[in-house]
Amino acid sequence: MLRGTDPIEALQRLLAAAEAGEVDAMCERWGVRLLGVFGSAARHIRDPEAPAPRDLDVSVSFLGTRHELELLADLARLTDCDVIDLAVLDGAHPLLRAAGFVGIGLYERERGGWATEQMAALAEYRDTEHLRRLDLEALAG
């Protein structure tokens, strides 16, 4: 039975599962191209003085068909955590893509895939910054 496992403990379980090869098997089963963690739990692992997280943010990119619910169920079982937010980065807004790829990479189907997508996401974020600024100016009226 799942419980609201602390997101830091859940992330530690996920990191251990990645080290043991369990994450690789899960990702291959569900057609995952890239998988990582980001957000407050990832920041807290890097800096224990950072605010405590309320959930575990997981980023994913699929090869084709999206198996979001199946992947989420496996992640919940693997981490014993029911406070997981799954962010599908395929075609996502540049802000989400940049945030999702600035986390901790756990799985890449092809070697170098995480770094390549990370650079592309950050470049897209930079290249669209002026459009976000124009939107804000238009909303301010």
* Residue from 16, 58, 18, 56 nearest 35 by CA: 58
pTM: 0.86
- Structure-token pair, residue 129: 């910054």
- Torsion sign across C-alpha atoms 19, 22, 24, 26: negative
Tell me the per-residue pLDDT of 69-91, one tens digit each, with 9 for 90 and over.
999 999 999 999 989 999 999 99
Is 123:47 a contact under the CB 8 Å cutoff? no
The 10s digit of each residue's pLDDT in 8-43 is 999 999 999 999 999 999 999 999 999 999 999 999
pLDDT tens for 117-134 read: 999 889 998 888 887 787
Confidence class of residue 141 from pLDDT cuts 50, 70 and 90? confident
In this structure, the strands spanning 84-88 and 104-108 are unpaired
